Amino acid sequence: MVAGGALPGWAVGMSMFGTFLSSNTFIGVPGQAYGGNWNAFVFSLSLPVAAFLAARWWIPFYRRGDAVSAYHHLEERFGRWARTYAVACYLLTQFARVGSILFGVALAMNALTGWPVAWIILSTGVVVTVYTLVGGIEAVIWTDVIQSVVLTVGALIVVGLLIGDAQGGFGGLLETAQAAEKFSLGSLAFEFTTSTFWVVLVYGLFINFTNFGIDQSYVQRYHAAVSDRAASRSVWLAAGLYLPVSAVFFFIGTGLFVVLQGQPEATGLAADQAFPHYISTRLPSGAAGLLIAALFAAAMSSIDTSFNSSATVFLSDIYRTYIQPERGADGGEAEDLRVLRRATVVIGVLGTGAALLMIGAGSLLDVWWTVSGIFAGGLLGLFALDRLAPRAGRGAAQAGVAVGVLVIVWMTVSPQLEGGLAMLRIPLHSYMITVIGTLTIFGVGLLLASRRQRAALR
């Protein structure tokens, strides 16, 4: 499950980078820039801070322990309920993640081939599930390295083609885009009801803290690295690569806006279909083939990671805990492999089902960011309570999670409240759900722990 802890840091880092480069990046990011501006790029700007905290705080913590699961420690600290809550949040997030990635692939392939979206989702889901069954985390990491290179090269080729297609070349592209304010990072107004610079920055900080700090996909990679230093370097490499490469994909979206504006065939084109449309109508067959390969590489690189880590969580946190607890952590290797494979198939089916449910959804990136923020369940707040509030006990943690979940549910359904219930709406942007949920869990737990401590001193 961790490749014997013998992988070099650069390979682990490239694998993390490849996981970031899903079809959400390949399709969703250019779609955001094409239909709007570079506001979503602010998310990437939060990566160095998250990488710093992961390297200094999370990696030493996880590598000191023997448990592969990121959530084992929560049971030791707060009880089994905390571990179960964490596992539920993680698995729900991964189902949604796999669904959004498969949906992104289907959108692109539908524009390229005209094949039905549902059939593309089903066939891609089967292929990636079988592919993941072939190898474990070591196979995932090495293939991620190759796929991330293919994707990046494909993106750079598109940038060159867009500059060549733009009237006036690179200078003309920049001039037209600047006139339309396509490079804007969003309003600097300090308010949180719309997607301002600050909303995306805060959202990015919390989500990337969650990714690097408590996501099983990353924790498993920390254990796979040959040393603590290699694990730390892997985080910095992933963040350092994704920041400029994400800018490349935003530039692609901006270039698409410049090149396609005024084109009759682009009239009424959905933002997420602009890039696939350009690939299918403007690129030479060889370049189009490379981009299609890159698209599938992006999807496979991310989905196999979700499958592998989710299956590991099922084995460690569900099967060994609830189904066969007498086996403990040192069960037979053959039985573990059988459980991992069965779990992978189930996760593949559920992720494919999630993708089918997304058919007809709006912006791919918006949908994924909103859903992932909800399903994160404020889990970072529970981990923060564990690490930053040593006197917080089980009761304080349970109360924090209970109130936090209520707040998350309230904020999620808030936009649908009408009539007499409209007064209960929370005007904050949906990206703030995970932020407020996290702060609520940590704040309530810390407050109760502090009150209990003061009462004990009287």
> In which band, very low, low, confident or very high, does the pLDDT at 114 lie, cut at 50, 70 and 90?
confident
> In which band, very low, low, confident or very high, does the pLDDT at 20 lie, cut at 50, 70 and 90?
confident
Q: What is the pLDDT of residue 299?
A: 77
The whole-number average pLDDT for the span 287-310 is 78
For residue 241, which amino acid is it? Answer: L
Percent of the chain whose predicted confidence (pLDDT) is above 70: 93
Chain-centre distance of CA 204, in angstroms?
11
Percent of the chain whose predicted confidence (pLDDT) is above 90: 42
How far is the C-alpha of 202 from the C-alpha of 191, rounded, in Å?
12
Q: What is the pLDDT of residue 135?
A: 60
Q: What is the pLDDT of residue 187?
A: 95
> In which band, very low, low, confident or very high, does the pLDDT at 87 lie, cut at 50, 70 and 90?
very high
Given a cut of 80, whether residue 145 has pLDDT beyond it is no
Given a cut of 80, whether residue 192 has pLDDT beyond it is yes
Chain-centre distance of CA 22, in angstroms?
9
> In which band, very low, low, confident or very high, does the pLDDT at 179 lie, cut at 50, 70 and 90?
very high
Q: Where along the chain do its domains lie? A: 3-362, 377-458
How far is the C-alpha of 30 from the C-alpha of 195, rounded, in Å?
17
> In which band, very low, low, confident or very high, does the pLDDT at 453 lie, cut at 50, 70 and 90?
low
Given a cut of 80, whether residue 249 has pLDDT beyond it is yes
Contact between 389 and 448 (Cβ < 8 Å) = no
3-state secondary structure the chain: CCHHHCECHHHHHHHHHHHHCCHHHHHHHHHHHHHCCCHHHHHHHCHHHHHHHHHHHHHHHHHHCCCCCCCHHHHHHHCHHHHHHHHHHHHHHHHHHHHHHHHHHHHHHHHHHCCCHHHHHHHHHHHHHHHHHHCCHHHHHHHHHHHHHHHHHHHHHHHHHHHHHCCCHHHHHHHHHHHCCCCCCCCCCCCCCCCCHHHHHHHHHHHHHHHHHHCHHHHHHHHHECCHHHHHHHHHHHHHHHHHHHHHHHHHHHHHHHHHCCCHHHCCCCHHHHHHHHHHHHCCHHHHHHHHHHHHHHHHHHHHHHHHHHHHHHHHHHHHHHHCHHHHHHCCHHHHHHHHHHHHHHHHHHHHHHHHHCCCCCCHHHHHHHHHHHHCCCHHHHHHHHHHCCCCCHHHHHHHHHHHHHHHHHHHHHHHCCHHHHHHCCCCCCCHHHHHHHHHHHHHHHHHHHHHHHHHHC
The domain at 3-362 falls in which architecture? Up-down Bundle (1.20)
Q: Is the dihedral angle over the CA atoms 31, 32, 38, 43 positive or is it negative?
A: negative
Lowest mean pLDDT among 233-237, 247-251, 296-300, 329-333: 329-333
Contact between 186 and 37 (Cβ < 8 Å) = yes
Q: What is the pLDDT of residue 425?
A: 87
Given a cut of 70, whether residue 136 has pLDDT beyond it is no
> In which band, very low, low, confident or very high, does the pLDDT at 374 lie, cut at 50, 70 and 90?
confident
How far is the C-alpha of 330 from the C-alpha of 312, rounded, in Å?
14
Given a cut of 60, whether residue 100 has pLDDT beyond it is yes
Residue 86 sits at the vertex; the CA angle it makes with 80 and 89, to the nearest 5 degrees, is: 140
- The mean predicted confidence, pLDDT, of the chain is 86
Q: What is the pLDDT of residue 456?
A: 61
